[in-house]
Amino acid sequence: MRIDVLTVFPEMVEHAASQSIVGRARRSGALDVRAWDLRDFTADRHRTTDDSPYGGGVGMVMKVEPIDAALRAIGATDDGGTRDAHVVLMSPQGQKLDQELVRVLASYGRIVLICGRYEGVDERVREHLVDREVSIGDYVLTGGELPALVLMDAVSRLVPGVLGKGESADDESFSEGLLEYPHYTRPEEYRGWRAPDVLLSGHHAEVATWRRRESLRRTLERRPDLLPGARLTAKDRADLKELGANEKLLDSLGEPSE
Ligand SMILES: C[S@@+](CC[C@H](N)C(=O)[O-])C[C@H]1O[C@@H](n2cnc3c(N)ncnc32)[C@H](O)[C@@H]1O
């Protein structure tokens, strides 16, 4: 998969995207990440990427021309405006990023992430140059680079060949609409705090049953709003009832799956 990032701080993206799993995936060729400096797509001597807002007011607004020029120069759109990539504007006003949206974005062969700064981006970018706007949460950051890196990190994990052996995207929070079960590792006991005996038993079926139930318990306690959308078996429903789920919640669950 290819991910292009348009930014006025390419080193910020380049640095973060050269570490850890994303960095390894870039070196192996599973991911092609390119950070582009929007200043390289300006036409004036001062390499201007922002200007004061029409109508007055404080702050600066990112200009439309460098962004349009960059999208064409990197082959994300052609001169007629046809897109060869899925173009995303990072914005606190966009669709909130969740695992479902991450899955959708990971299904594209190429995405472009546009990072705003200052007061934001000329509205014509949103109107004419992007496919969607994505927010990483209901708070405002100083720029789109960290949101772009968050999105890139989450999407990368779903790209074939990015996670190595022993790293899996299947069995974790949100993969089945539930939060993941808790983890423990050596020692068996630390300051009197014991790891659950079932995990030390070596009994795979019992471990799996315990994990599923803990996953249900956690989701019920912390994120009951996820349960109506989760894939649940008849046994899961019975467990939820035992764990104290109320009738209203139980009634809101979909049809049991196998
Ligand atoms: C200071 S913000 C601009 C906020 C804008 N004035 C508003 O009220 O919607 C500058 C840039 O940071 C990025 N940004 C800030 N918060 C974000 C968030 N929660 N999710 C995604 N991008 C964000 C966007 O690219 C935005 O254009």
Q: Is the dihedral of CA 151, 141, 113, 148 positive or negative?
A: negative
The domain ranges of the chain are 2-156, 189-252
**Could you report the per-residue pLDDT of 38-88, keeping only the tens digit for each?**
999 999 999 999 999 999 999 999 999 999 999 999 999 998 889 999 999
Rounded Cα distance between 150 and 98, Å, is 11
Region 167-188: mean pLDDT is 89
Rounded Cα distance between 226 and 241, Å, is 16
Pure H helices in the chain: 10-16, 20-28, 64-73, 99-106, 123-128, 145-156, 197-200, 204-222, 234-242, 247-252
Superfamily holding 2-156: SPOUT methyltransferase, trefoil knot domain (3.40.1280.10)
Ligand 1 atom nearest 142 alpha carbon = 1
DSSP string, 85-96: SEEEEEEEEEEE
For residue 193, the surrounding DSSP H or E stretch is strand 193-194
**220 CA from centroid of ligand 1 (Å):** 32
What confidence score (pLDDT) does residue 209 get? 98
Fold of 189-252: Trp Operon Repressor; Chain A (1.10.1270)
What confidence score (pLDDT) does residue 132 get? 98
Strand partners, 48: none
Mean pLDDT of the chain: 96
Q: Is the CB of 60 under 6 A from ligand 1?
A: no
Out of 90, 97, 118, 136, mutate this one to test ligand 1's pocket (max ligand atoms within 8 Å of CB): namely 90
Closest CA to 52 of 42, 62, 65: 62
**116 CA from centroid of ligand 1 (Å):** 6
Q: Is the CB of 93 under 6 A from ligand 1?
A: yes
Strand 132-135, strand 86-96: pairing: parallel
Lowest mean pLDDT among 112-116, 176-180, 183-187, 235-239: 176-180
What confidence score (pLDDT) does residue 234 get? 96
**Could you report the per-residue pLDDT of 197-213, keeping only the tens digit for each?**
999 999 999 999 999 99
Q: Is the CB of 7 under 6 A from ligand 1?
A: no
In angstroms, how far is CA 89 from the centroid of its own chain?
14
